[in-house]
Structures are given as C-alpha cells and as structure tokens.
Amino acid sequence: MQNWRSWLPNTLKYRLFVAYITLLMLPLCIAIYYLFQYFETTRQNDMIDRMSERMQQVYISLTDMMAFAYKSNTILSQDESLIQIMHNPDKYDPLERKKIVESKMFGINNSFFFHQTELYFRFIDRNGNVYTSYAPNSQLTNEREELQEWQTKLQAGSRPYRWVADDSNDVRSSQGSKLLSLYLMLNDELRGNYGLARISINVQEWFHNTLKDNPANQGLTIFTGRGETVLQNKEAAFSLDSMKRIISAQTQNGHYKDERTLSLVNYSYIEELDWYVVSQMPLNELQQEVRRLRLMIYMFLIFVVTAFMLMTFFLASRMTQPLSVLKRSMEEASDKKLNVKISINKGATDEIQSLSASFNRMIDDVVELIAKLKQEERQKQLVRFQMLLYQMNPHFLLNTLNTVKWMARKEKQEEISGICTSLGLILEASLNSDIELIPLKDEIQLLRSYESIQAFRFREQFAIVYETEEAVRYALVPKLSLQPLVENAIVHGFNRVEGHGTIWVRARAEGNELILEVEDNGIGMEEAARKPGRRSGHGIGLSNLRERVQLLFKQEGAVELISDGSGTLVRIRLPLLIAAPYSQEGDDRHVDDFIGGR
C-alpha cells in the first residue's frame, strides 16, 4: 500500500492535475485510439466491399458473354432456313449458301450489340463445309474429320457441349493468341445432327474492355484450376503460392489479406471453365489514407491535450492558491504567536472566503482559549499551593493521634485508643486524594470507624443496621459517600430527648445499577429545619455528594431524597462496577453469585 502511494504527488495542486489527466484525458485518448482502430477496420471492410462489387461485375460480365454464346446456339437451333442449308448443303449454290449463313451470324451479333465484345461463329456442316463470321487467318478447307472428331468427344462427355479455354485464335487482326470457345453439335429432333458449331469469345479483347473501368491500382488475374495464368493486367503480381492458397480453399467466392504483398485479394470461381477470377488491391492506398488521418487526429489530439493540460494546471493553481495561503499562514501562526490573519481578495469563491473567515475566527478563539488556560493554570497553582498548606494540618493531626493512641494504650485507656485508631483511618482515607472509587466493603469499614467514634460521643442513642448483599461487597463506590449521610442522620435527625434512633445502611443490585440507601427514623427534614441548630449542614453535605456523583458518573448516577415526619431516606443510584479481588484459587464466588442472580 505504501509503495504505490509514494508515487503520488504530495501537493493538492499536482494531485488535481494528475486526477484530471487520468480521469479525463487518458480515457479520451483511449477512446480516440479505439475509434481510429474501428475506422481503419471499417475503411478496410469498405475497400473489400468495393473490390467484391467490382469483382462481381467482372464475373457477371464474363458469365454474360458465356450466356450470350448459349443464347446464340438456341437461336441458331430454331432457325429453319439455317437447318435446311446445313442439312442439305448440296442443294444450294456455295456462294448463296455462304451468304445466308454469314448473315445469320451477323444478325445474332447485332441482336447483342450492347456486349463488350462480339462473338466469333464457325460452323461445319455434314459435308465438312466451313462457315465463319470473321475473316480467318488461313484459307477455309473441308473439315469433315474435325466434325467427326468433335462428334465423338461430345458423345463421350457428360454434357452435349464443351468449353475450350485455350482455343487457337484464327481471327485475322484480333488481339491475343487464344479464344474462349464453346463447341456443340447442331441437332434437330427430326433430322438429328446436322453440323458442328464453335462460338468463340476473344477473352483478351473482353479483358481489355473490362479493365477500362477498373481502378488504376487494382490488379486483375484469371488463372486455371491447374495454376496456369490465363489473363493478367500489368498491375497484378500474383504469385504461385497465392494461387495454391485460393485453389486449396475450394470455395466459390472469398477474400483475404495477403501479408506478404500487403494487399487485399478477392476471388470468384467459374466452374464450367475451371477459372479463378482474382482481384488484387494494394493496401498502400488505404495505408496512406490512414496515415494522413492518423496524422490529423494526432495533431488535433496533441493540441487538445496541450490546451487541456494548460487549462487544468491553471484551474488547479487557482483552486489551490488560497489553500497555499492558508497553509503558509498556519505555518507562520506558531512563529508569530498566533498573530496571523488571512486576507482573501473579493474574487475568491464563497468556499475559500468562508474558509479564511473560519481560520481567522479559529485564531481568535485559540488566542482567547490560551489566555483562559493561562489564567486557569495560575489559579490551579494557587489552589495547589493552598492544598499543600492545608495538608500540613491533617498530617500533624494524624501524627498527634498516633501519639495520643500510644499514650492511651500505655495508660490502658482502651476507649481513647480505639477512638484514635478509628479517627486515624478516616483521616488517612481523606488524605489519599488520588483514589476516588473504593470497594463497598472498604467504605463500610470507614463507616464502622466513624460509627465507633460517634457511639462513644452519643452513648447508645442510635444504632446502625447494615443490610448489604454479599454479591456487591466489591462494587466500586465514591470514597466517604455514606459517612456524610450517616453523620447528618446522627447529628440532625434524632430527637435525643425522646429516645433511641435507628439508621439503616443498605446496598443491593438492581439490574446494572448499584443502589445505596441511608434511612433513619428521625424527625424528618421539615421538623429539623424549624429548630435552630438542627440539620443546618444537611443540605451542604447532600449537595456536595450530588456534585461528586455527577462528576464521577455523569448521567448514570443520581441522588434521591425522601423525607416525612417518620424519618429521612437518601438513595444513591450508581453504575454497577465490580472490582473482583485477586485470589490464587480464583475464588470470586461473590461475583458469580451476583451474575447468576443469587
């Protein structure tokens, strides 16, 4: 615990400063960092989405061209005049026959004029005659063997057609050396096969047209399932390892981040051609955009943090400056003997002004209190001096009593010796001012000593009856608390002319209270007050006892007075405090008896 606290600033100003930075700026910086990470991820996903969209456009464009070829075959298969010419070529003039077939091909291309590239048609009829929609590189000859060869291949395959991705380009003055060709047999339900059709697409030309709308930094690659590159633009640099990764994934569509080339890769698979169309976008564009944004955010963050730190430091200084003044004033208070006052300007807050006013009042109160303490100290010294003087007389009396006691014993005056002994015990107890509470049994012993003195004086005119419970023998009571009450009963309570008086001294426990009672059967307070010299000191002794009980026990102690014509009862209520005596056998049976309620 002490280790981490040692790292904290000691002053309030710097603690406020550190708290503001930790609780406000640090969470703000963390939030901005995660927000930026979220933006970067979102931007990358957006780039992947745009690549996927572009990839889908390329895929759809190529599949549309293939669908164009299928539709062309459907149109040709439903053209009756073409079927007649191809089925019976000998019935027609060669030039007329060639003109009709080529017009059919031209009409199909015109019906799909909106496509990026045209289709190249090549037909072979039953007699081996060749018809093309383009100018071939070489002279056309009879191709009956090619017709028979393809008829065998297609009949052996699972489909009535076959795509050839690397067909030789025999179109004069066209781009590339390869064509994407669809081979199929021309069939009629009534007359059977009547020829072979090859519908070709110049993928190089199509690829070139597709790249016109392609982003400048986006690479586009088409390769086969065997890892052979078919088409690739100059921006693409697709490695063999990347091809193997895509092929091994065995999925129709997908994308991933290539850490080696730092690029995003998106791909689609064309099952009929066993081709993979792959789009590749370098992350440089994204990274440059992210770097620019990061620089802007960091510059803004540095500006905000710097401004916030300066403002925080300024506010912390303004808040703690009055406290620093208060601190210096408190440090100067002892050096200048409390002759220090704080002066706060009017622009300070209400709390600071209230604090300064409280400090000034505190200084005034402390100065006044110190003056009172000095006066009380002087009074205490005077009282102690007087007490020392007064203690000389009791000690002298005690020594004199001892002398008288030994003289009485020498003269065999036992009554005088007993009185001296009893009076000596009372004087010795009164001299011991350090002890305020004594066990009840010791208080009873002092009371018996006082009784022996008064019995000699009043000659059997009274009797004291002790009724105390054994369990409260060691209960603590104020020293000499019963003696003044018994003295009042003896001196002022009895009409000695009328006869003998009785005093009852009782002690018992009631719950958590100790009850002490002194009762007499005298004439009562009212009767005694009407006789001069009777009970004149009773009020003084009782008020003195009340004050002592109040000082020792506060609200837990009380003194009650009940008086009528048949006597007077004084009842003292004290907290029950048991001081068990030390015993080697551990015999504290009187305490156990009290706790057990016996």
Per-residue confidence (pLDDT) for residue 410, from 0 to 100:
61
Length reported for the chain: 598
b/e burial code for range 487-516 (CB count within 10 A of at least 16 → b): bbbbbbbbeeeeeebebbbbbebeeeebbb
Helices and strands: H and E segment counts in the chain: 16, 17
- Give ∠ CA 477-479-485 in degrees, rounded to 5: 90
Residue with tokens 């690829």, as numbered in its chain: 207
Enclosing H/E stretch for 428? helix 414-431
Q: Are strands 567-575 and 263-270 parallel, antiparallel or unpaired?
A: unpaired
Residue 519 CA to residue 399 CA, distance in Å, equals 35
Residue 212 to residue 380: CA distance in whole angstroms: 112
Residue 157's pLDDT is: 80
Reading the chain (598 residues) residue by residue, the pLDDT tens digits are 455 555 655 566 666 667 767 777 778 778 877 877 777 778 777 777 777 777 777 778 788 888 888 888 888 777 888 888 888 888 888 888 888 888 888 888 777 655 567 788 899 988 889 999 888 888 888 888 888 888 888 888 878 888 888 888 888 888 778 888 889 888 877 777 888 999 888 888 887 777 776 666 677 888 888 777 778 776 556 777 788 888 888 888 887 877 777 778 888 888 877 888 888 777 776 667 777 777 887 788 788 778 877 777 777 676 666 667 666 766 666 665 666 666 666 656 666 677 777 777 887 888 888 888 888 888 777 666 555 544 444 555 555 666 666 666 666 666 666 677 777 777 666 666 667 888 999 889 888 888 887 777 776 778 899 999 999 999 999 988 888 888 888 877 776 545 578 899 999 999 999 999 999 888 777 777 766 654 444 456 788 888 888 888 888 999 998 887 778 899 999 999 988 775 444 444 443 343 333 3
Tokens of 427: 């004087």
The amino acid that residue 223 corresponds to is F
Virtual CA dihedral for 242, 247, 249, 252, nearest 10 degrees? 120
For residues 534 and 464, the answer to whether their CB atoms sit within 8 Å is no
Residue 226 is encoded by which pair of tokens?
């065997």
- Closest alpha carbon to 567 in 478, 502, 515: 502
Q: How many angstroms separate the CA atoms of 232 and 443, rounded?
A: 120
* Angle at 542 (CA atoms; ends 536, 544), nearest 5 degrees: 110
- Give the phi and the psi of residue 355 in degrees, each rounded to 5: -65, -45
- Looking at this protein, which amino acid is placed at residue 120? Y
pLDDT at 159: 81
Calpha distance 363→339 (Å, rounded): 8
CA–CA gap between residue 448 and residue 486 (Å, rounded): 11
3 state SS of 481: coil
How far apart CA 40 and CA 290 sit, in angstroms, is 7
* Helices 284-335 & 12-20 angle (0-180, nearest 10): 160
Q: How far apart are CA 451 and CA 457, in angstroms?
A: 10
What's the rounded Cα separation, in Å, for the pair 67 and 62? 9
